[in-house]
Amino acid sequence: MTLKQLRDYAVILVGTILQVLAYALFLIPAQFAPGGVSGAAQIINGFTGWPIGAMTLAFNIPLFILGWRFLGGRRFLARTLFSIVLFSFLLDGLAPFLPKAGLTPDPILNALYGALLGGIGSALIFRAQGTAGGTEVISRLLSRRYGLPLSQSYLYTDTLIVLISGLAFSWSNALYAMIVLYVWGVVTDLVLEGQGVVRTAIIITDQPEAVSQKIIADLARGVTAWQGTGMYSGQGKQILLVVISRAEVGQLKAILHEADPNAFVVIGQAHEAFGEGFKALAEEK
């Protein structure tokens, strides 16, 4: 086993422990079932008392086979099996040593901290090229097949379990579980993609030199230009592309107002930017 593989398994270990703590300390005591096979196991446990970890392991077997077939073969097999088995055994094994009533009776705190720990745990497992099994396998299949963000995939795959939990526990618990489900997905996306959200500006201007020089001088950002043609007027136009931080949007607007008030600009959002002025690709690697 290589050093990178060992590091990946260590990351999966940490992520799985965080998920176990999310369930054992916050979600299970509050009876919040935010989807997934562990949520289904929670519902059954409420009626039968059967151990949640053991049921989670049993329910994961068919989904595990599905993931093995479509999400990476042997590598997926080993890393996901490690995560599934570890989660199931830790959840049941640590139960006698953790407070049965959780850390707090406050439902809002249980929802937020359960989602925070669980979302960070999921992101770490995904970063190490594994999954925690369950409907996360289906979420990754939907994300890969249709390009859906993981947060949306979670909503699609786990809503049914949340609705069933409303019938099993209470509808207020189901509403809290929906909050957990949403925040869990958002936290997962944030940890996976980082906080480096940037703005991309596409500028169509008759004063490309003036606008470019002003951006370079005032914002210290590079500008890329290419030639375009207005299909209505048939006239050639210079198109400028610049990537800036969120805090620099106001400055960019002021620059355009001064250099070319008639410029046409579209400002969009990008999750990350690599290169001069932003993160280096070597850091990401």
Residues 172 and 208 both lie in one domain: no
Residues 72 and 138 both lie in one domain: yes
Residues 70 and 120 both lie in one domain: yes
What is the per-residue pLDDT for 194? 65
pLDDT 10s digits, 244-257: 887 788 889 999 99
Number of separate domains in the chain: 2
Q: What is the largest CA-CA distance in the chain?
A: 75
Residues 144 and 254 both lie in one domain: no
Residues 41 and 166 both lie in one domain: yes
What is the per-residue pLDDT for 151? 60
Could you tell me the pTM of the whole model?
0.71
**Residue 143: pLDDT over 60:** yes
Query: Which residue segment(s) compose the domain that 94 sits in?
Result: 3-193
Residues 256 and 189 both lie in one domain: no
Residues 226 and 96 both lie in one domain: no
Residues 171 and 207 both lie in one domain: no
pLDDT 10s digits, 184-215: 888 987 887 666 668 899 999 989 999 999 99
**Residue 107: pLDDT over 90:** yes
Residues 62 and 173 both lie in one domain: yes
Can you tell me the mean pLDDT for 156-164?
Answer: 83
Q: For residue 62, which of 139, 155, 135, 156 has the smallest C-alpha distance?
A: 135
Residues 179 and 107 both lie in one domain: yes
pLDDT 10s digits, 18-69: 999 999 999 999 999 988 888 899 999 988 989 999 999 998 888 777 777 7
What is the per-residue pLDDT for 14? 96
More confident residue, 160 or 77: 160
Decide which of 157, 173, 193 is a domain's last residue.
Answer: 193
Residues 64 and 155 both lie in one domain: yes
